[in-house]
Structure 1
Amino acid sequence: MRRLIIVVAALSVLGLIIWAFLPRPVTVELATISPQTIEVSVEEEGEARIREVYTLSATIAGKLTRIGLHAGDQVVAQETVVASIGPAAPAFLDSRSRAVAEATMAAAGSAVDLARAQVVQAEATLDFMTSEANRARALFEKSAISERTLSNAVLEQKTAQATLDSARANLAVRERQKDSADAALLTGAANGPDACCLNLIAPVSGRVLRVLTEDEQVVQVGTPILEIGNLGNLEVVVDLLSRDAVRVQPSAKAEITGWGGPPIAAQVERIDPVATPKISALGIDERRVEVFLTLTGDPSEWQQLGHGFRVIARIALWRAEGVLAIPVGALFRDGPYWATYVVRDGRAQLETIDLGERNESYAQVLAGLQAGDQVILHPSDLISDGIGVAPLAH
């Protein structure tokens, strides 16, 4: 009896040792292959901006009055005065320039005096020639002189009249030259009671985006003053890699997120046909293509979205419904092929498969699997072809 107990105990220990070293099924997480709706999209940072931004510039050189508008103020087309430009005060003269100007003014004054003397001389000559012509007419009527003598007297009278007219015109020119010389010495303020101003009117209705020149100052022609735009005419511009841009189709659906508000529906309006070289943050030379999106959602949902705001754009590249799909977590590379582990009769079997489109969650299965097959998600190093597996209990 004692020997029997020892034998039974030894067999039990041996059985436990054998059981301990027997291979156990590996616990795995499974997923079932089934038809899914797969949408492939590209996501990239973009910028919201107004399609037409109007920059108002100074059309004349002069003194710009202080701008009373601020960013965000509403303006009405052809009504709101956004800026006024008046004449600027003349520049101060240095001692040499002032001496030259004073000499020019003195010379202009002398020229006026000379012109006036010439007018007086011409008037006296005309009076004399007029009396001579009248006397010649009286003598000619009495047949005391010849007709030729009368004609000479009339000619000298007309010549004297023309000389007077020329002297008066010369006097007017000299007086204007004197006024010009006097104006060169003026250094007072330009904004007197008779100073004129040019008002700049808003060309479109919208809001002031930026005031570029706010303080009162002297500006030159073409100086930017402020920017105006209509926030209701927003678009989104996204820089895509050229390899992604070639897959984007006009009118493709898109979604705008990452701007601080709810997602906004959008649509591809056009794709720039030219790629621009850009250096990425990692120092990689990339080719980027601008893609323009039109916002198609409810405008009340993006009232707070403004010009120059950063956004995230997700653009649909491909979409199909009811396609056989496998979770990307079940995929791995087996040489040049995609592969997965399929569970059949409690064992893992290695299967190579052909894939089509895929996104971050699912991949389209073209060949190698059937609907209803169970595949192992995230297979570890413990999984190999033919090993026993057991589903993870949830």
Structure 2
Amino acid sequence: MIMNRRTVAIIAVSVAAIAALAWAFAPRPLEVETASVTRGHFEQSIEEDGRTRLRERFTISAPVAARLARIQLREGDSVQAGDSVAVLTPVMPSMVDERSMREAVARLKAAQAAVAGAAARVDRARIAYEETRLEWQRAIRLAAEGFVSASRLDSTRLAEDGARQDLEAARAAHEAAMHERTQAAAVLQPIGRGASGAPLQLRAPITGVVLRVPIQSEATVAPNTALLEIGDPGRMEVVAELLTTDAVLARPGTTARIERWGGPPVEGRVRRVEPAAFTKVSALGVEEQRVNVLIDLDRTPDAWRTMGDGFRVTVQVITASVQDAVQVPVGALVPTESGAMAAYVVEHGRAALRPIELAGRNSAMAWVTAGLQPGDRVIVYPPPSVSAGRRVQPRAPG
């Protein structure tokens, strides 16, 4: 009887030890983070940095070389269409040094001598013309009396015509010599404090604000020099540089949303995708092909009036929008060996790998068309140790 009790005690201890070992080495449920499959509004968008830009900017430049008066306008000042924004006056002549002065004096004396010579040639041509004119008149009288032949009369007439043309040429040469003398004398005129001539007023082409004033002080400017830029901040657009692979989805008319500008989101629509792309090097040194996408704003809040040209914003181009879509967190997506997507679903305390079909995804949620139902619990960010059939336990919050 004593031996039996001892045997029973040994057996009991052995069983307890075996049970303890079995419990110690038995696989425990894997703690995982889970989320529910929901149904609701789904949006797929392309998010990219953008900047504001005036749809039209006007650069006012100098049409000719002139002296620019000091511009009183500054960046941000309002102007009305037709207002005078800049005043141009003729430039002063260049200063004359001693050598140039002597050359100018010699040139003036030469011009004066040329005028005198041209005047002498005019007098000589006038005398020759009077002589041939008298000879022709004499020949006309003699021809009427029959003392001069017809050929002689024609010769005197032609001589009179030639002498008259020589006189006109001499007078033209004399006039040209006088102009050259005036031009040579103008170089020696004293330089005044200002150049003569009426000032030229440059006026604003539109009503808007001054964006930039490159030259603020008085200066002499060359033709086509930019003096200031004017734009209308009420006509603003947003420019986003999208990857060419994303830009094909941003067709004209696509809804866009402007965020992170300092106020509530602003709705807009894509107006144009520029036809030419350009190469841009990313922060990681990768060459990317990008294209400018222009977005017009639908309605802007009052705070948007403080936005200016070149302000940074965040652009979301909505490429898909579904009101009643089955959604699952993107962290629950698991790629399979075949390249398809799947998700681990918690069924009766165990993980089950279920293939799914995706119609779209954004930064947070994925749109599922098959494989999951609203209310299913899926494992989010499944650890490497999870597998199909593995016991799992949802991690307690906090």
TM-score bracket, shorter-length normalisation: 0.7 to 0.9
User: Superposition pairs for residues 158-177 of structure 1, below 5 Å?
Assistant: 173-177=176-180
1-structure distance, mates of 2:374, 2:164: 117
User: Superposition pairs for residues 300-379 of structure 1, below 5 Å?
Assistant: 300-335=302-337, 336-379=339-382
2-structure distance, mates of 1:314, 1:187: 68
Structure 2 CA distance for partners of 1:338 and 1:165, relative to 1, 3 Å? closer
Q: Which moved more, 1:195-204 or 1:251-260?
A: 251-260
2-structure distance, mates of 1:65, 1:36: 65
1:50 alignment partner in structure 2: 54
Shift of the alpha carbon at 1:292? 0.3
Structure 2 CA distance for partners of 1:319 and 1:299, relative to 1, 3 Å? same
2:84 alignment partner in structure 1: 81
1:266 alignment partner in structure 2: 268
Alignment length (residue pairs): 374
Shift of the alpha carbon at 1:306? 0.7
Q: Which moved more, 1:280-289 or 1:255-264?
A: 255-264
Whether the aligned pair in 2 keeps the contact of 1:87 and 1:190 (CA below 8 Å) is no
Deviations 1:114-165 (A, max 9, x none): 6677889999x8xx99xx9xxxxxxxxxxxxx9x9xxxxxx9xxx9999999
1:103 aligns with 2:144: no
2-structure distance, mates of 1:355, 1:119: 102
What amino acid is the match of 2:45? Answer: S
2:387 alignment partner in structure 1: 384
TM-score by length of 1: 0.81
* Residue aligned with 2:95, SS: coil
Shift of the alpha carbon at 1:309? 1.6
User: Superposition pairs for residues 90-169 of structure 1, below 5 Å?
Assistant: 90-112=93-115
Deviations 1:213-241 (A, max 9, x none): 22211111111111111111111111100
What is the identity percentage for the equivalent residue pairs of Structure 1 and Structure 2?
40
Shift of the alpha carbon at 1:86? 1.0
Structure 2 CA distance for partners of 1:361 and 1:103, relative to 1, 3 Å? same
Counterpart of 1:33 (choices 26, 31, 37) is: 37
* Residue aligned with 1:244, SS: helix
2-structure distance, mates of 1:112, 1:299: 77
1:21 aligns with 2:30: no
* Residue aligned with 1:273, SS: coil
Shift of the alpha carbon at 1:3? 4.8
What amino acid is the match of 2:321? Answer: R
Structure 2 CA distance for partners of 1:20 and 1:190, relative to 1, 3 Å? same
1-structure distance, mates of 2:233, 2:221: 29
1:142 alignment partner in structure 2: none
The answer for unaligned runs of 5 or more in structure 2 is 135-144, 148-156
Shift of the alpha carbon at 1:66? 1.4
2-structure distance, mates of 1:329, 1:67: 60
2-structure distance, mates of 1:67, 1:84: 8
1:65 alignment partner in structure 2: 69
1-structure distance, mates of 2:329, 2:179: 92
2:207 alignment partner in structure 1: 205
1-structure distance, mates of 2:12, 2:52: 81
What amino acid is the match of 1:198? Answer: L
* Residue aligned with 2:373, SS: coil
Structure 2 CA distance for partners of 1:92 and 1:10, relative to 1, 3 Å? same
Shift of the alpha carbon at 1:264? 2.2
Q: Which moved more, 1:161-170 or 1:57-66?
A: 161-170
Structure 2 CA distance for partners of 1:219 and 1:187, relative to 1, 3 Å? farther
1:290 alignment partner in structure 2: 292
Shift of the alpha carbon at 1:307? 1.0
2-structure distance, mates of 1:211, 1:118: 59
Counterpart of 1:222 (choices 198, 221, 224) is: 224
* Residue aligned with 2:74, SS: coil
Query: Over the residues paired in the alignment, what is the CA RMSD in angstroms?
Result: 3.7
2-structure distance, mates of 1:10, 1:326: 51
Structure 2 CA distance for partners of 1:118 and 1:353, relative to 1, 3 Å? closer
Deviations 1:298-319 (A, max 9, x none): 2523111111222211111111
* Residue aligned with 1:231, SS: coil
1-structure distance, mates of 2:168, 2:251: 81
1:136 alignment partner in structure 2: none
Q: Which moved more, 1:249-258 or 1:315-324?
A: 249-258
Whether the aligned pair in 2 keeps the contact of 1:264 and 1:301 (CA below 8 Å) is no
Structure 2 CA distance for partners of 1:197 and 1:299, relative to 1, 3 Å? farther
Shift of the alpha carbon at 1:325? 1.8
Structure 2 CA distance for partners of 1:10 and 1:121, relative to 1, 3 Å? same
Shift of the alpha carbon at 1:25? 2.2
* Residue aligned with 2:101, SS: helix
Counterpart of 2:280 (choices 278, 281, 286) is: 278
Structure 2 CA distance for partners of 1:58 and 1:12, relative to 1, 3 Å? same
Whether the aligned pair in 2 keeps the contact of 1:57 and 1:223 (CA below 8 Å) is yes
Q: Which moved more, 1:372-381 or 1:3-12?
A: 3-12
* Residue aligned with 1:303, SS: helix
* Residue aligned with 1:209, SS: strand
* Residue aligned with 1:102, SS: helix
Structure 2 CA distance for partners of 1:82 and 1:360, relative to 1, 3 Å? same
Structure 2 CA distance for partners of 1:245 and 1:167, relative to 1, 3 Å? closer
Structure 2 CA distance for partners of 1:110 and 1:362, relative to 1, 3 Å? same
Shift of the alpha carbon at 1:181? 1.0
1:188 aligns with 2:197: no
Shift of the alpha carbon at 1:186? 3.3
The answer for unaligned runs of 5 or more in structure 1 is 133-145, 149-154
2-structure distance, mates of 1:169, 1:329: 96
